Amino acid sequence: MLSAEQMAALVAELRKPSYASLTEAQAFDALHNGPILEDSETRPKPFASADLLTLLSDESAAKLVACPSLPNIRSDIAAQDRTALGVWVAIPKRGGVVSDSEATAIGGVLAATETITTQRRGHAPIRGGTFFSMPNRIDDTDFHLAYEASRS
């Protein structure tokens, strides 16, 4: 059983924004094991040769295969070198190898991004010493009372 002082400290902790959207079970887990934090990163979306070739007509693909710079283009695709590939798209476009719409579509692939979200555990208040005067584990009844009080 928690003292009144310990209960007040627990209620104050549960009122923090990091617990606001959590269910009671999630908040209990976060308190003992650390909250689950999400990190998001937007980065260029990877692509393969096939992603680019499918955007070309048969005629444009045949012209591109005959291009003496094809090994360099393949190398830039493998390296995901968007800057170099942008140049490679501009040259065949000017030479009539690819159409304006095909060049635009390839540019879209080169500019595409994706957001990657990863999860990690944050600081666990119980294990981390925030509640150094509390027991290592708070029982379900005390936690339920504190959780309900933090929501009012």
Residues 110-124 have pLDDT tens digits of: 999 999 998 777 766
Q: Which residues contact 10 (CB under 8 A, 6 or more apart)?
A: 2, 131, 134, 138, 142, 143, 146
Instruction: For residues 31-39, give the mean pLDDT.
Output: 76
Look over the chain and give the mean of its residue pLDDT values, rounded to a whole number: 85
CA 65 – CA 44 distance, rounded (Å): 26
- Sorted by where each begins, the domain ranges of the chain are 4-36+121-150, 46-111
Cα 45 → chain centroid: 12
Helices (H) and strands (E) in the chain, counts: 9, 2
Instruction: For residues 91-120, give the mean pLDDT.
Output: 89
Render 42-94 in DSSP notation, one character per residue. Answer: EEEPP--HHHHHTTS-HHHHHHHHT-TTHHHHHHHHHTT-HHHHHHHHHHHHH
Residues 16-31 have pLDDT tens digits of: 988 889 999 988 888 8
Confidence class for position 134, pLDDT limits 50, 70, 90: low
pLDDT for 72 equals 92
Contact at 8 Å (CB) between 40 and 117?
yes
Residue 102, pLDDT > 60, answer yes
pLDDT for 129 equals 47
Closest by alpha carbon to 67, among 76, 108, 152, 18?
76
- Residue reference for tokens 């590939």: 85
Query: Amino acid identity, residue 89?
Result: V
